[in-house]
Homo-oligomer: A and B are copies of this chain.
Amino acid sequence: MTPTPDLLFRTLADPTRRAIFERLCREGEQTVGALTARSGVSQPAVSKHLGALKQAGLVRDRHEGRQTHYSAQPGALNPLIDWTGQMAGFWQKRLDALDDLLKRMDQ
């Protein structure tokens, strides 16, 4: 079984935090300062968001002198993909059953 996507959903629910993650996905590794510059919130806020993202396994950090570089951790989205796939699967399954039923009633 794939790990529960609970933490993932909670972490990505906040727009500011998700925006940070998106930027890391689009543009690759960034320092805290660079991320803060266009985030619209204070540097401590960004640091907190990065901490949350890290705890959810969505980002990695790399220390270099006095600055910290963050980068997106791609595979971390897999549980999300699996979950949506499952939900779609359940739906499809019930659709098939209905289809089958109708086919039997038809003949």
Name A residues whose Cβ lies closer than 8 Å to a Cβ of B: 6, 9-10, 12-13, 15, 18, 21-22, 25-26, 28, 72, 74, 77, 80-81, 84, 86-88, 90-91, 94
Contacts and interface: CB of A to CB of B under 8 A. Distances in A.
Contacts of A81: 81, 84
How many of these chains are in the complex? 2
A87 B25 contact: yes
22 contacts: A6-B15, A9-B12, A9-B13, A9-B18, A10-B13, A13-B13, A25-B86, A25-B90, A25-B91, A28-B94, A72-B87, A72-B91, A74-B87, A74-B88, A74-B91, A77-B84, A77-B87, A77-B88, A80-B80, A80-B84, A81-B81, A81-B84
